Amino acid sequence: MGDSQLSTQTSNQQGDALRFQRVETPGVGMAYLSSTRWLSSIFVLGVFSVLIGVGCLTVGAHPISFETVLQTLGAAIQGGSRETESTGVSGMILMQVRFPRTVLAFLVGGSLAAVGVGLQALLRNP
């Protein structure tokens, strides 16, 4: 390697180092997330997601009340298929059409988010 190539390579490395340095805005400190703040944020977002998911179950061509959704889901969690069938058409629509679609939508959204985070880490995008 010649001296000119070595100096060019060194200047490129210095340019890359300058380009990727962290720049802090004057007067604005770095915000760190403590463990309690992180847990409370995750909890609030989880509750919000569950409420949105249950709200999505009420909307459709055949409107179903929020109470019926909660009653049907509660009966399904307890393992009673008879209670689910006792709500009639609404219970069948919820458990055979809307609930699987809602769960699938949450799984697809989570998968897309995980892939996005993976790509950002792979490409070193902060």
Note the pLDDT tens digit of each residue in 75-101.
888 876 555 555 688 888 898 999 999
C-alpha neighbours within 13 Å on the C-beta side of residue 100: 6
- Buried b or exposed e, range 51-74, using 16+ CB within 10 angstroms: eeeeebbbeeeeebeeebbebbbe
What would the pLDDT profile of 12-66 be if each residue is shown by its tens digit?
555 555 455 555 555 555 567 788 888 999 999 999 999 999 999 999 899 898 9
The domain ranges of the chain are 33-122
At residue 73, does pLDDT exceed 90?
Answer: no
Q: Tell me, what's the pLDDT at 26?
A: 56
Q: What is the DSSP letter of 24?
A: P
Residue 71 and residue 85 in contact, taking contact as beta carbons nearer than 8 Å: no
